[in-house]
Structure 1
Amino acid sequence: MSADALLDALDPEQRAVATALRGPVCVLAGAGTGKTRAITHRIAYGIRTGVYRPGNVLAVTFTARAAGEMRTRLRGLGASGVQARTFHAAALRQLGFFWPKVVGGAPPRILDQKAQVVAEAARRVGLSVDRVSVRDLSSEIEWAKVSLVTADDYEKAVGAIARPAPSGQDPQAVARLMTSYEQVKTERGVIDFEDVLLLLSAMLAERRDVAEEIREQYRYFVVDEYQDVSPLQQFLLDQWLGGRHELCVVGDPSQTIYSFAGATPYHLTTFATTHPGATVVRLVRDYRSTPQVVSLANRVIDATRRAGGPAPLELRAQRPDGPEVRFTAYDDDEAEATGVAHAIGRLVRSGVRPSEVAVLYRTNAQSEAFEEALATAGIAYQVRGGERFFARRDVRDALVLLRGGARSADPTVPMPETVRDILRTVGWAEEPPAARGAARERWDAMHALVGLADELAAAAADGTRTTSDGRTGATGSATLADLVAELDERAAAQHAPTVEGVTLASLHAAKGLEWDAVFLTGLSEGLLPTSLAESAAAVAEERRLLYVGVTRAREHLHLSYARSRLPGGRPNRTRSRFLADLWPDDRRPARSTSTRRPAAALDPTADEDDPRARRVVVELTRWRDEHARSVGVSPARVLTSATVALIGLHRPRTREELGRVPGVGAQTLATLGDDVLAVVARAAGSPAQG
């Protein structure tokens, strides 16, 4: 492919990025506008035109997954040899190389977790801590270090920004803890992840020979997600540059959601001032989402401008029309989870792959209800932020078997067939197990490996296969060794293959990802924005979280909240202030419709305000809870609140009518049908009073 041919696939703004090869460049890129495409083509174009040598380019991003994806794209564009790493990975590699020369010996061991050291440091300064406070204090130490705040300056720094000290401690106590923490680390001969950046920055600032060697190696820098850079990362970047301006940064201030961890959009928003004469390009053509999703995203984030903040990028949808965004108010959390699970079931039956569906929420604690509802509905799922794919024991065992198989594989047998034969010994089969639990999770993981083998073979058959080190393989010749190499690289980058299940994730964990269908849940005051967001800046960041969530959706977008936490509880929740002027009927929220069939399908006279319906719901809920206690399961395992409400609405009189109620499966009908019908008959004959 010629250099000019590389530009043919780009829109005018992306082409402007790709051809701005020298000097400072700032790319303000909205969600879904193809920023990774633009910067990878820029690097590839620079190499094709002879402006860059691959080894002189360092592309830095914030997650190992993003770095792995960038390397994959660069290889596909013929730009192998470019270093694409996270800040920490790049710094650790350089520190490990120069440490023996500058200090002598091997670098200190890096702490996996701070908890033990923080607990010991707290004991030494007389602070009473538990597991939760140790976690919070560890996070505060990380914030201080990435913000370049020392123990001596801590009290003044947090006072200036009105940042409360964690776990009920006063700033002086936290400062003493910080000093003690550094002492404990020194005694144990260990460093933490923040020290990697601090030590390398100091080495570059103090040792001119080291700085010159690195600057000779890396002459051109690209930094993705620049709105998330911390003062420490910026300081390291300044040392790498050494006063030069061969820097391209990419970011979106509207997606700044990690301020609590020290990230700041300041360096992005002031880039043109810091680097006079910088080329500034705005990417606003949204190729990810439908006009319906893009319109809502623009309305969500435009409130930052109305509140006196900087004007956000206004996205322009490039896709054709899609379904309208759906808004649903549920009675309680359990009903919300059940309604979302049923809506997902309809999408899957319509042809949407489960792996292209996500349920997003503000905090990880909200996942449990959705896990239970999806399991009850028989829908596979994975919780993002749980155990890492390549850390699973069954995945590690499978990799050992595949690695061994690569040494003795029959070259006449297609690679995907060999993979299937090997993985059958560790739980894979053509069809998934009927039950959920560990067996299904193991099958899902093995099936993801099978799917990756199929993708690799298909790419090779199309003549597009490249190996992990950038070599182009022969057409149609993907081997088991190629798959093992791909898995090794993915494991190093924590770039897991796609597991065929619905993704459950917090809004923070969803950053950088996208799905065909997204369910934004728990959108009530106190959850989003969280009750802990007390300042205007904190509330603004919560709004940006919602914006990030909305822009994850390509086609289907559902927003919901629950009026009450528990079934039968007081409806004391209100929807999020961020949904003001966005909800279809601002006077009266839309009723839950996700799990309800049209009333005429069961009973054309059904009326949810009928006192008999309310009586049935009360009595059936009481019976359900008693039965659940007697058999030792959660009430939702017997009947969900949404199903109870539908039974109360339609008041079935026969097993056939009960079987038509959504949520009543064949097993429920066979084991509990007569009992449920008896409760309905008793309750329906006595209308509720009041």
Structure 2
Amino acid sequence: MDAEGVLAGLDPEQRAVAEAVRGPVCVLAGAGTGKTRAITHRIAYATLTGVVAPQRVLAVTFTTRAAGELRGRLRRLGAPGVQARTFHAAALRQLSYFWPRVIGGDPPRILESKIGLVADAAKACRLSFGRTELRDVAAEIEWAKATQHRPEEYAAAVTRAARKTPADVVDVARVYVMYEELRRERNLLDFEGMLELTAAVLTEHREVAQQVREQYRYFVVDEFQDVNPLQKMLLDAWLGDRDDLCVVGDPHQTIYSFTGATPSYLLDFTRDHPGAKVVKLVRDYRSTPQVVGLANNVIGQARGEAARRHRLELVAQRPAGPEPEFTEYDDEVAEADDVARRARKLIEEGVPAREIAVLFRINAQSQTYESAFAAAGVPYVLRGAERFFERAEVREAVVRLRGAARAGADAETDGTGLILTVRHVLSGAGFTDAPPEGTGAVRARWESLAALAQLAEDMAIENPGAGLPEFVAELEERAALQHAPPLEGVTLASLHSAKGLEWDAVFLTGLVEGTLPIIYAETPEQVEEERRLLYVGVTRARVHLALSWALSRSPGGARKRRPSRFLDGVTAKTSTATPARFDRSQRRPAKSGPQPCRVCGRPLTAAVERKLGHCESCPIELDEALLAALRDWRAATAAEQKVPAYVVFTDATLQAIAERNPGSAEDLARISGVGRAKLARYGEAVLALCTG
């Protein structure tokens, strides 16, 4: 792609970002406005026009997955040499390289988790903490180190920040002192120490700073509102006296101040960098006008000078959709039961389960929803639970695939060879074309292996020349980024863990005083952060949005709760729901439930039935002429691409298309078996048959 091609398709504000190839630049990007698109096109445009060599660029973000997405987009734009890393990954790389020269001796072992060391420190202080308290004390130590407060300064810093501590402040300070002593004795280095030591090496060793600054001359920092003082110190050490810096962030999505993050670096960027170019991205491509309107109303009531001065008023770009729904319930059980029932109805109407999310303020709220979804027979995925690539069957499958790749198992290099080879290797781990009967561990194992087989099909479609080595490399990259193949189920997640994600339908639940804002949010600043948390939740929804609250915790309890203050003035017509309760004696243990039939409601277990969305025996209207046309088209397409017909679409997917007769790409995408890759490759032809 050439430089002009990189600019094509950008809106005026995104293009302004892309063309601002010299820093300092500050991009204030609202939710859903295409900030990643803007900054990746800016980097690509700068490299393609000769402003900077790709290997001289360092793009910094906060998660390995976000860094991986940046690298992938930049490769596709013609800038494959750009370094996109997290703060910690970039610091570790530099520290490891310079350690022998400037420090010497055995390098410390990186401490992946503080909890074990905190437990040892507490024991040495003769303090007894439970698992939850240990986790919270570890978080306190992280906050203190991220905000650059030594153990002797900790108590005073807590008082200034009006921070609630998980134990007596003196005890936490004692544990902090002992934690640091044990860490040094055992030659351990935690993540905060890694950043601090890297910054110190750059500050104290001029030759090291010179080499690093020669390597990296062009900086981009994403999610700048989440930068903490320690990360800012490292960034300043990287920069030196230069100003080729582009920062991107949204002050309305500052929700991590409890970890030490502060939006002040973003909000005061023009004060620190006079003459900086500021671009605001406000065109929202994610959500309908109804969702965007509610988001603007929520954040429009934010208090404080900074909120008014830096407000981003989003402008919806999508067609109109349904109005957000507000519902009041008698108790939390009724709320959860009805949310599960409404999610099931959306699935029956064609919204994929993976495009629905239930979001809540605290993780403890998930149990009620796990039980409700299990009882309703609605599949769900608990975000933050066991990671896909850490499952025993997935680890085994990856080992088998890696071994087969080394042995040169795929002699053929076309898509057919990859698909057949992967299925053959997975069969050794127990994979079969037909799913096992029933549910439980056997079914869960099969589903994991089926996800890998589907990933191979998707890769064969996107890259027909890919072989097994490329597939194994893709799996290893996904494992490093924790980028699991999509699993079919409604997402249950906390509001904090939902940041950066989006769904077609979102249920925001438990919106009562004491939960949102949380009861320990006492200062005006803390309350305003809770408001921003609701704003983040609202802006996760593309089309369907429902907000709800319950007046009591348990059935029959006193109805004393009040809806969240953040709903004052933004609530449209509120309905009071008293749904029939599920039979609690029939409620299964909390685990992912099967998808229900959209005709009779029976749980679907067979793979073909899940693709169709109904039992094979249930009566359903089918356009026979359309099905015949789809089969003819598939045969011709498969012959042209020299792949088996099922690689294009399976029989079940063609039948589902003929049953639902989608009229738009959005409708087609909701059908199981039509992923993003197949939609891009075949969507236009399929829709032409449906509408013709």
C-alpha separation in 1, matches of 2:293 and 2:261: 28
Q: For 1:613-652, list aligned pairs within 5 A.
A: 628=585
Partner residue of 1:313? 312
| 1:22-50 alpha-carbon deviations (Å, 9 max, x no partner) | 12000000000000000000011111101
Q: Which residue, out of 379, 395, 416, partners 2:419?
A: 416
C-alpha separation in 2, matches of 1:408 and 1:525: 60
Partner residue of 1:90? 90
Query: CA contact under 8 A between 2:303 and 2:528: conserved in structure 1?
Result: no
Partner residue of 1:284? 282
Measured after TM superposition, the shift of residue 305 of structure 1 is 4.3
| 1:196-241 alpha-carbon deviations (Å, 9 max, x no partner) | 1011111111111111111110100100000000000000000000
Partner residue of 1:500? 488
- SS of residue paired to 2:261: coil
Query: CA contact under 8 A between 1:60 and 1:223: conserved in structure 2?
Result: yes
Query: CA contact under 8 A between 1:444 and 1:500: conserved in structure 2?
Result: no
Alpha carbon RMSD of aligned pairs, Å? 2.4
| 1:30-72 alpha-carbon deviations (Å, 9 max, x no partner) | 0000000000000111111011111100000011111111111
Measured after TM superposition, the shift of residue 285 of structure 1 is 0.2
Partner residue of 2:626? none
C-alpha separation in 2, matches of 1:53 and 1:116: 44
| 1:245-284 alpha-carbon deviations (Å, 9 max, x no partner) | 0100000010000000000000000000100110100000
C-alpha separation in 2, matches of 1:308 and 1:12: 26
Measured after TM superposition, the shift of residue 353 of structure 1 is 1.4
Query: CA contact under 8 A between 1:99 and 1:106: conserved in structure 2?
Result: no
Alpha-carbon spacing, 1:424–1:365, altered in 2? closer, same or farther (3 Å): farther
Partner residue of 2:575? 590
Partner residue of 1:553? 541
Alpha-carbon spacing, 1:429–1:360, altered in 2? closer, same or farther (3 Å): farther
Measured after TM superposition, the shift of residue 522 of structure 1 is 1.1
Q: For 1:389-404, list aligned pairs within 5 A.
A: 389-404=388-403
Alpha-carbon spacing, 1:437–1:368, altered in 2? closer, same or farther (3 Å): farther
Q: Which residue, out of 446, 451, 454, partners 2:449?
A: 446
Deviates most, 396-405 or 543-552: 396-405
- AA partner of residue 100 (structure 1): P
C-alpha separation in 2, matches of 1:38 and 1:75: 15
Q: Which residue, out of 214, 222, 231, partners 1:224?
A: 222
Alpha-carbon spacing, 1:566–1:426, altered in 2? closer, same or farther (3 Å): farther
Query: CA contact under 8 A between 1:74 and 1:80: conserved in structure 2?
Result: yes
C-alpha separation in 2, matches of 1:252 and 1:53: 28
- Is residue 477 of structure 2 the alignment partner of residue 478 of structure 1? no
C-alpha separation in 1, matches of 2:381 and 2:448: 10
Partner residue of 2:660? none
| 1:574-618 alpha-carbon deviations (Å, 9 max, x no partner) | 221111122224xxx41227x67xxxxxxxxxxxxxxxxxxxx9x
| Aligned pairs, number | 592
Partner residue of 2:559? 571
Measured after TM superposition, the shift of residue 6 of structure 1 is 1.0
- Is residue 68 of structure 2 the alignment partner of residue 68 of structure 1? yes
Query: CA contact under 8 A between 1:68 and 1:495: conserved in structure 2?
Result: no
Alpha-carbon spacing, 1:500–1:536, altered in 2? closer, same or farther (3 Å): same
- SS of residue paired to 2:491: strand
- SS of residue paired to 1:250: strand
Alpha-carbon spacing, 1:663–1:86, altered in 2? closer, same or farther (3 Å): same
Partner residue of 1:345? 344
- AA partner of residue 204 (structure 1): L
Q: For 1:88-167, list aligned pairs within 5 A.
A: 88-164=88-164, 166-167=165-166
Alpha-carbon spacing, 1:366–1:339, altered in 2? closer, same or farther (3 Å): same
Measured after TM superposition, the shift of residue 87 of structure 1 is 0.6
- AA partner of residue 11 (structure 2): D
C-alpha separation in 1, matches of 2:481 and 2:258: 25
C-alpha separation in 2, matches of 1:568 and 1:516: 34
Q: For 1:258-269, list aligned pairs within 5 A.
A: 258-269=256-267
C-alpha separation in 1, matches of 2:454 and 2:106: 41
Measured after TM superposition, the shift of residue 372 of structure 1 is 2.1
Q: For 1:352-391, list aligned pairs within 5 A.
A: 352-391=351-390
Q: Which residue, out of 449, 457, 462, partners 1:459?
A: 462
- AA partner of residue 420 (structure 2): E
- AA partner of residue 377 (structure 1): A
Measured after TM superposition, the shift of residue 16 of structure 1 is 0.5
- Is residue 244 of structure 2 the alignment partner of residue 237 of structure 1? no
Measured after TM superposition, the shift of residue 491 of structure 1 is 1.4
Partner residue of 2:594? none
| 1:426-449 alpha-carbon deviations (Å, 9 max, x no partner) | 454556556554334333433332
- SS of residue paired to 2:158: helix
Deviates most, 238-247 or 434-443: 434-443
C-alpha separation in 1, matches of 2:570 and 2:600: 30
Partner residue of 1:254? 252
Alpha-carbon spacing, 1:478–1:63, altered in 2? closer, same or farther (3 Å): same
Measured after TM superposition, the shift of residue 4 of structure 1 is 0.9
C-alpha separation in 2, matches of 1:38 and 1:112: 33
C-alpha separation in 2, matches of 1:289 and 1:446: 34
- AA partner of residue 510 (structure 2): G
- SS of residue paired to 2:166: helix
Query: CA contact under 8 A between 2:371 and 2:587: conserved in structure 1?
Result: no
Partner residue of 1:46? 46
Deviates most, 572-581 or 78-87: 572-581
- SS of residue paired to 2:504: strand
- AA partner of residue 167 (structure 2): G
C-alpha separation in 2, matches of 1:8 and 1:635: 53
| 1:465-492 alpha-carbon deviations (Å, 9 max, x no partner) | xxxxxxxxxxx20212111111111212
Query: CA contact under 8 A between 2:377 and 2:603: conserved in structure 1?
Result: no
Alpha-carbon spacing, 1:537–1:440, altered in 2? closer, same or farther (3 Å): farther
- AA partner of residue 372 (structure 2): A
C-alpha separation in 1, matches of 2:436 and 2:518: 39
C-alpha separation in 1, matches of 2:461 and 2:544: 29
- SS of residue paired to 2:308: coil
Query: CA contact under 8 A between 1:378 and 1:436: conserved in structure 2?
Result: no
| 1:335-378 alpha-carbon deviations (Å, 9 max, x no partner) | 22221122111211222111111111111111122222222333
Q: Normalising by the residue count of structure 2, what TM-score does the alignment of the two structures yield?
A: 0.81
Measured after TM superposition, the shift of residue 143 of structure 1 is 0.1
- AA partner of residue 439 (structure 1): V
C-alpha separation in 1, matches of 2:435 and 2:549: 33
Partner residue of 2:179? 181
- AA partner of residue 34 (structure 2): G
Deviates most, 307-316 or 247-256: 307-316
C-alpha separation in 2, matches of 1:429 and 1:257: 45
Q: Which runs of no fewer than 5 residues in structure 2 stay unpaired?
A: 591-598, 605-692
C-alpha separation in 2, matches of 1:551 and 1:519: 12
Partner residue of 1:642? none
